[in-house]
Amino acid sequence: MENKFLELEEEIVKMLKTVYDPEIPVNIYDLGLIYGVDVDDDKNVIITMTLTAPGCPVADFIIDDVQTRVESISGIRNVEVKLVFEPEWHQGLMNEEAKLELGFL
């Protein structure tokens, strides 16, 4: 059973890597904006995420995109996106690929 949830979480991460902030050429997962992906026994998903800035003008677009894309995964029942600003996002949360793409390495 645990393996099935792991596969589902991997599928969710793959889908999250298709979501981009229109102002940044790196996906939200590699940017470090995703703080958590939780799947319960009924395949309800809670995604905890942040934005690069609290006043992000495309916040609604990104949150809707995350929800729509993750809901499209077969077997998922419900998706809730929790937007948090603590801990505050910083460049250190980006993975190496994102830092390279944005010229930080």
DSSP E strands: which ranges in the chain? 34-39, 44-49, 78-83
Question: Taking residues 67-84, what's their average pLDDT?
Answer: 96
Residue 104: pLDDT band by 50, 70, 90 thresholds? confident
Q: What is the C-alpha to C-alpha distance for residues 15 and 72, in angstroms, rounded to an integer?
A: 9
Q: Model-level pTM greater than 0.85?
A: yes
Give tens-digit pLDDT for 17-65: 999 988 899 999 999 999 999 999 999 999 999 999 888 889 999 999 9
Question: Mean pLDDT, the chain, as a whole number?
Answer: 93
**pLDDT at position 56:** 87
Residue ranges of domains in the chain, CATH in brackets: 2-101 (3.30.300.130)
